[in-house]
Amino acid sequence: MMNRINIKQIITSLFLLGIIFSVKAQNKVKQNKTVEKPNVIFILVDDMGWKDLGVYGSTFYESPNIDKLASQGVRFTDAYASSPVCSPSRSSIMTGQYPVNTGITDWIPGSNRFRKSQPYLKLIEQSIVNNLPKSNISLGQAFKNNGYATCYSGKWHLGESEEYYPEAEGFDYNYGGWAAGNPRAAGMKGYFSPYNNPKLKDGPVGEFLTDRLTTETINFIKKQAKSGKPFFADLSFYAVHEPIEAKQEYIKKFTDKAHNLGLDTLQQFVKDADWMQQNPSFKERIIQADPVYAGLIYTVDENVGRIMTTLKELGIDKNTIIVFTSDNGGLSTAERSPTTNYPLRYGKGWNYEGGVRIPLIIKWPGFAKPGTISNFPVVNTDFYPTLLEMSGLPQLPEQTKDGVSIVPLLKGDKSIDQPILFWHYPHYGDQGGSPASSIRMGDWKLVQFYYDNHTELYNLRIDLEERRDLSRAFPEKTADLLQRLNDWKKSTNAKTPLINPYYNPDYKLLKN
């Protein structure tokens, strides 16, 4: 009898023990799920304009894969770069700081070294910082320090020597990132291999650079998916920066399209603005019809599609954040003027909307509602704190004070206050723009020009084209925004241009 009782007790105990182990195992699975870190892919296109995608309204360029990405995430209508040119904007992405705080306020090394004492310029630009400051923890370092595998593919343009290249900023792998700002800079050969890029082995003759950078990124993703380690991949295309080159089959495709639409019979450019007189090469494109540029965008889109397909095939698309954006506005007033940002005014190199408003799409599976369109103003200083919070990584408040996490916005919270945005570009843009600073608060935007200290005021809600200067009609609003802008510049020790003692207003540039 005693043995039967003992056996019964033992069976009961084992049964209860099994339940306990089962509960613990389930809890462990739940814990693993909650601590699983998302993968992050940050796709940055160089010089892609706000209107360069089908989902943003282009009727000539084609971008089916990026349009699909927008349907799966949040598309921002009022997203901004922190600068109208590349290096300053990229420094903001890497540090979470405005360019005025990194010291990189122009493209590296900038044009100021060539323009000093030029008699046709009223102002002299001050010097800039030519390397990403080591005092900052870069975005790559932030992810690597928290257990992520990291990869950088493409344009870097944030340092003149190897000690400032991606490998020194937290990236385990670097494919093609170095001092050069475009595929023909510093001895590079262009978009077709051989590239002559010291950080990227040449591929087969005729291989296209955009394809190659994507292939390297995909290989990295596959390797990390196999290992199970979370990854941060920064795919920074050299496209669509000039030189404007594309595959022949795509040039033909869009040449035929332009002809079929009758675009090749229309006026493509205007040259009647006063500022164009300083340089005979300046011209503004007024319609999107360049078949080579269209082919370059089409290749970018194809490769975004390759990334999305790879994630799905590997079964990690539901745990991968994708950010797609540009580093500044589209090139519309110089260097072939391959695109137009209309209805936005002008483009790259200008503080008007065409120079700083950019496409932005963020896909965050399980958190951001697919197909959402947001008109909330955001700037690329926000990426750093946002990506850290999305990934569950510790914040760096002192470093990221210029930006804010937009996680609540991505989750659907519309009650958060709109930020005040600032720009400081105290340089002559290679595209015709002159030194200026600007501020946006709500629907209002003020631009301050340094050559004569005049200001322009626009209401973007009713005048997205920035054609109706309201500074005289609203003097109090103008004074308020100007004071806020000057206070911000003072607090950041912003450098402003100096008067050129050699300036000659009668001097005219010789024609090329």
Question: pLDDT per position in the chain (512 positions), as tens?
Answer: 444 445 555 444 544 444 444 444 454 444 444 458 999 999 999 999 999 999 999 999 999 999 999 999 999 999 999 999 999 999 999 999 999 999 999 999 987 655 556 888 899 999 999 999 999 999 999 999 999 999 999 999 999 999 999 999 999 999 999 999 999 999 999 999 999 999 999 999 999 999 999 999 999 999 999 999 999 999 999 999 999 999 999 999 999 999 999 999 999 999 999 889 878 889 999 999 999 999 999 999 999 999 999 999 999 999 999 999 999 999 999 999 999 999 999 999 999 999 999 999 999 999 999 999 999 999 999 999 999 999 999 999 888 889 999 999 999 998 888 899 999 999 999 999 999 999 999 999 999 999 999 999 999 999 999 999 999 999 999 999 999 999 999 999 999 999 998 888 887 654 33
Nearest 5 degrees, angle CA 190-CA 191-CA 194? Answer: 70
> Where are the extended beta strands (E) located within 335-462?
357-363, 372-374, 378-379, 420-425, 436-441, 444-449, 455-459
Domains of the chain, residue spans? 38-412
Q: Which contacts qualify for 466-475: CB closer than 8 Å, 24 or more apart? A: 466/344, 466/345, 466/352, 466/353, 467/345, 471/446
pLDDT at 330: 98
- 8 Å CB contact between 155 and 180: yes
CA distance 221 to 77: 30
Tokens encoding 496? 């402003």
Q: Which helix (H) or strand (E) holds 157?
A: none
Secondary structure letter of residue 197 according to DSSP: B
pLDDT at 32: 40
CA distance 3 to 314: 56
**Which candidate, 139, 161, 176, 99, places its Cα nearest to that of 356?**
99
- 8 Å CB contact between 41 and 323: yes
Using the Cα atoms of residue 25, residue 29, residue 35 and residue 39 in order, give the sign of their dihedral: positive
What's the pTM? 0.92
Tokens encoding 265? 């019979």
The full length of the chain comes to 512
Give buried/exposed letters for 419-441 (b at 16+ CB in 10 A, else e).
bebbbbbbbbbbbbbbbbbbbbb
pLDDT at 112: 64
pLDDT at 508: 64
**Which candidate, 351, 332, 338, places its Cα nearest to that of 293?**
338
Tokens encoding 44? 């940055």
Q: Which fold has domain 38-412?
A: Alkaline Phosphatase, subunit A (3.40.720)
**Which candidate, 467, 51, 77, places its Cα nearest to that of 288?**
51
pLDDT at 24: 47
